[in-house]
């Protein structure tokens, strides 16, 4: 069975601080995809990144970076120099082969001005 765990339910940081959102996944398959989505108060899921299981390279996109470690089954997300607009619920998700996307319960991030 597949599972995604986001242990941090809610995080609050002051603007300009760095923050890391943790994600641990479980799957016995060797081929899978990992995702991060952002959900602002409007409710729409905003796609941030997709990573396949064969690509362990870390990725940086502006203030966002992702650390994928198969050895620990983790796919963590770091926001550098956080901004108030980063306040949202962030979901980590897993898809095995062509199967449905399985989401974690999300981490609610508050960036305080």
Which residues bind to another protein, rule: CB under 8 A? 4, 33, 35, 37, 42-45, 47, 50, 52, 91, 93, 95, 98-106
Min dist. Cβ of residue 59 to another protein (A): 16
With beta carbons less than 8 A apart as the criterion, state whether 25 and 92 touch: yes
The least distance separating another protein from the CB of residue 104, rounded to whole angstroms, comes to: 5
DSSP class of residue 15?
Answer: T
Minimum distance from residue 6 beta carbon to another protein (Å): 8
Query: C-alpha angle with apex 19: 14 to 22, nearest 5 degrees?
Result: 140
For the bound state, the minimum distance from the C-beta of residue 16 to another protein, rounded and expressed in Å, comes to 28
Nearer to another protein, 9 or 71 (CB): 9
CB-based contacts of 44, cutoff 8 Å, min separation 6: none
Query: What pairs with residue 104 in β-bridges?
Result: none
Nearer to another protein, 3 or 16 (CB): 3
Beta carbons of 59 and 49 less than 8 angstroms apart: yes
Q: Which is nearer to another protein, 16 or 47 (CB)?
A: 47
């Amino acid at each position: 069975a597949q599972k995604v765990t986001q242990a941090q339910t809610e995080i609050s940081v002051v603007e300009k601080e760095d923050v890391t959102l943790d994600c641990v996944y479980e799957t016995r398959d060797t081929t899978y995809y990992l995702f991060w989505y952002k959900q602002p108060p409007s409710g729409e899921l905003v796609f941030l990144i997709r990573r396949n299981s064969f690509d362990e390279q870390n990725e940086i996109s502006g203030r966002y970076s992702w650390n994928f470690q198969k050895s620990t089954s983790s796919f963590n997300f770091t926001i550098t120099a956080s901004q108030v607009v980063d306040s949202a619920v962030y979901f980590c998700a897993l898809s095995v082969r062509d199967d449905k996307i399985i989401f974690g319960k999300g981490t609610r991030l508050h960036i305080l001005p």
